[in-house]
Amino acid sequence: MSQVFDTIVLGGGIGGYSAAIRASQLGKTVAIVEQDKLGGTCLHRGCIPSKALLRSAEVYALMKESDRFGIQAEAVRLDYAKISDRKNSIVDQLYQGLQFLMKKNKITVFNGKGRIIGPSIFSPRSGTVSVEQEDGEILNLVPDKLIIATGSRPRTLPGLETDGVTVLNSDEALQLEALPASAIIIGGGVIGVEWASMLSDFGVEVTIVEYAPRLLPSEDEDVSRELEKLLKKRGVTIYTGAKVQTESVVRGAKQVTISIEQRETTQELTAQLALVCVGRQANIEGIGLQNTDVKVENGFIKVNEDMQTAELHIYAVGDCIGGLQLAHAAAHEGIAAAEHGAGLPTHAYAPHQVPRCVYSRPEIASIGYTEREAREQGRQVKTAKLYFQGLGKARVLGETDGFVKVVADEESGDIVGVHMIGAHVTDYIAEAALAQLLNATPWEVGQTIHPHPTLSEILGEAMLAVDGKSISF
């Protein structure tokens, strides 16, 4: 059996469903093929459930410190089952909303694993998606444009294969029914740091092991240093420049022992569980790419700036194309693919215009290049770094850790990068993103009137401080 659609999207995560909705808005007939649940990683195993848990951890940490605010809260204790229920209910509500959005936009959703086939009786071009439905029946969906949005899954290391009991990945950790007493987090990137911060706030004894010389190696070095200092102050043990000897992992019934090598010395770490956060790999196997001329490079589908693969009627978006594996990047790429497929001019994807957020405590948000990257590009740079300690709203909130750093090009005056670590910085990094999009100068952002007292004031001041013109700092 076969059906024809203008646009078929393989994978119903945020990249896929954003593409589908946009294509439908542009008058196309659209189908999504999803093997699991609409919403993908972001909704079910990523952004939303992890942030729900982080919020509970933040509330718990704040309540334990309530005395600072003149509030006596006695016998504060956490109920992880309830925390987990709250997370699940947020996900469920958003999942309902997403299903409604599909109906509202007249998008047909096929449940099942999709596989791309080559030229066939259904179409002279490759790109038809063959779906095995739950009842075993094969359905062939023939697109004018195909958008691949199959996402990614947790990467593992040989010897560190997860077992869901003492060695877990982030998918499995989200399903924990009780908190461990201790945890070793392998990998100090975004996901590892968020889990470390959350578990530590929940009272778990946390150790991070990172192979690179610093946490969050792709962020500005000043930010990594500040984060390490603040996490250590909260009791997190951190080993950077440390290699896990994967052959040495000993799994017991209720604990795991791991040897690490750091600066030529070896030591053993034992905890109730190890959480492996060493990146994510694209879901590109078993989807039929070999039946097409679509190219794969370093494990990711290769696309041009309009999200087209080597077969121009086949697009790919989101985590399966690599780059910044972020939900908002996937959504932007999905929309760009749908618009290009409909013959509209697209806003080309520019990595330096994509904000990056880490929801640790305190949060981290950045955009553009780090100071080191800017210098390596041969730029002369000027920088300003303002600390939250000097800001009224930060003092009011009792959240004075961290800073905002602006990197600007000495010659052109352009903003090259903005790097923030502090409470709620993820809430206003979009202002720096708008500045990047409009190619605004630090002076122009500094002239934007920021309401007082807000945390965002510091961004305006830091922009002015680049040229020594800050009023309040």
Ligand X SMILES: Cc1cc2nc3c(=O)[nH]c(=O)nc-3n(C[C@H](O)[C@H](O)[C@H](O)COP(=O)(O)OP(=O)(O)OC[C@H]3O[C@@H](n4cnc5c(N)ncnc54)[C@H](O)[C@@H]3O)c2cc1C
What residues are annotated to the active site? 452
User: For ligand X, which residue of 7, 8, 9, 14 counts as binding (CB under 6 A)?
Assistant: 14
User: For ligand X, which residue of 35, 99, 123, 140 counts as binding (CB under 6 A)?
Assistant: 35
**Minimum distance from CB of 157 to ligand X (Å)?**
17
Q: Residue 36 interacts with ligand X (CB under 6 A)? A: yes
Listed in sequence order, the residues at least 6 apart from 20 whose beta carbon sits closer than 8 Å to its beta carbon are: 7, 9, 12, 30, 31, 32, 102, 105, 107, 147, 334, 338
Q: Residue 117 interacts with ligand X (CB under 6 A)? A: no
Q: How far is CA 346 from CA 215, 304, 308, 336, 338, in A?
A: 35, 12, 12, 6, 9
Could you tell me where the DSSP H helices lie in 105-209?
170-173, 190-201
Which of 144-152, 176-184, 205-213, 294-302 is the region at the interface with ligand X (rule: CB under 6 A)? 144-152
Tell me the two tokens of residue 88. 């699940």
Which of 9-17, 57-65, 299-307, 460-468 is the region at the interface with ligand X (rule: CB under 6 A)? 9-17
Q: Residue 149 interacts with ligand X (CB under 6 A)? A: yes
* Closer of 28 and 328 to ligand X (Cβ): 328
**Minimum distance from CB of 360 to ligand X (Å)?**
11
**Minimum distance from CB of 152 to ligand X (Å)?**
6
Q: One symbol per residue from 165 to 194: x for binding ligand X (CB under 6 A), - otherwise; what is it?
A: -----x--------------------x---
Q: One symbol per residue from 54 to 93: x for binding ligand X (CB under 6 A), - otherwise; what is it?
A: ----------------------------------------
150 is in an annotated binding site: yes
**Minimum distance from CB of 14 to ligand X (Å)?**
5
Q: Are 25 and 105 in contact (CB under 8 A)?
A: yes
User: For ligand X, which residue of 12, 180, 187, 368 counts as binding (CB under 6 A)?
Assistant: 12
SS3 278: coil
How far apart CA 386 and CA 206 sit, in angstroms, is 30
Rg (CA), the chain: 24
Query: What is the CA 353 to chain-centroid distance, rounded?
Result: 15
Q: Are 278 and 155 in contact (CB under 8 A)?
A: yes
**Minimum distance from CB of 426 to ligand X (Å)?**
8
Q: Residue 9 interacts with ligand X (CB under 6 A)? A: no
Q: Residue 19 interacts with ligand X (CB under 6 A)? A: no
Among positive and negative, which fits the CA dihedral 385, 390, 392, 396? Answer: positive
- CA atoms in the 13 A half-sphere facing the CB of 210: 21
97 is in an annotated binding site: no
* Closer of 19 and 407 to ligand X (Cβ): 19
* Closer of 8 and 381 to ligand X (Cβ): 8
Query: What is the CA 64 to chain-centroid distance, rounded?
Result: 29
Could you tell me where the DSSP H helices lie in 109-189?
170-173
How far apart CA 201 and CA 394 sit, in angstroms, is 20
Residues 150-169 that bind ligand X (CB under 6 A): 150-152
How far apart CA 24 and CA 334 sit, in angstroms, is 12
How far apart CA 239 and CA 225 sit, in angstroms, is 13
Q: Residue 353 interacts with ligand X (CB under 6 A)? A: no
How far apart CA 340 and CA 316 sit, in angstroms, is 12
* Prior bond of 453 cis (ω within 30°): yes
User: For ligand X, which residue of 145, 328, 340, 393 counts as binding (CB under 6 A)?
Assistant: 328
Reference 199, options 213, 217, 218, 179; nearest CA is: 179
Residues 231-290 that bind ligand X (CB under 6 A): 283, 287
How far apart CA 418 and CA 404 sit, in angstroms, is 7
Residue count at the site for ligand X (CB under 6 A)? 38
Residue list, annotated binding site for FAD: 51, 114, 150-152, 319
| Binding-site annotation, residues | 51, 114, 150-152, 187-194, 210, 279, 319
Binding site feature residues for NAD(+): 187-194, 210, 279
Residues that bind ligand X (CB under 6 A): 10-16, 33-36, 40-42, 45-47, 50-51, 113-114, 149-152, 170, 191, 283, 287, 318-319, 325-328, 330, 357, 359
